[in-house]
Amino acid sequence: MGSQANHSTTTQDRPNGTRYPMHHFLSNSRFSSTHSAYLANITTTKEPHTYAQAILDRNWQKAMDEELSTLQLNQTWTLTLLPDGQKPIGCKWVYKIKYNSDGSVDKYKVRLVAKGTLRLKVLTILKLFHQQQN
């Protein structure tokens, strides 16, 4: 029998749980120092996925405050009482980090978006279609 390479890995070989770590196959030795710095910066910052995560960071708190102020300044909505039997449309925050060309953070960008608008569009289309049939 010919010799076979042992391809099994142990947990000692993969301390972070990754079976095939990228650094075993790729190298950044050909990247410029500027590009290496950029990659290091953008891979160390994380965008939150929930409000609970974002509220823990002062940068995201400030960005959310600014977004709410802008929405109020532009009179995007009017607060009213919800009519009986109606359900409110939910909303969620969307978080995105914008980077400069050197990888430093340019700004923390947030948007407050309505959820469930697809359902409203479908209902509107169905109502219009039904009206045309009558």
Residue 102's contacts (CB-CB under 8 Å, 6 or more residues apart) are 34, 37, 38, 41
Per-residue model confidence (pLDDT) at position 118 = 60
User: For all residues of the chain together, what is the average pLDDT?
Assistant: 80
Q: For residue 28, which amino acid is it?
A: N
- Which pLDDT score is estimated for 43? 80
- Does residue 97 carry a pLDDT above 60? yes
Whether 90 shows a pLDDT value over 70: the answer reads: yes
Query: Residue 5: pLDDT band by 50, 70, 90 thresholds?
Result: very low
- Give the distance from CA 76 to its chain's centroid: 23
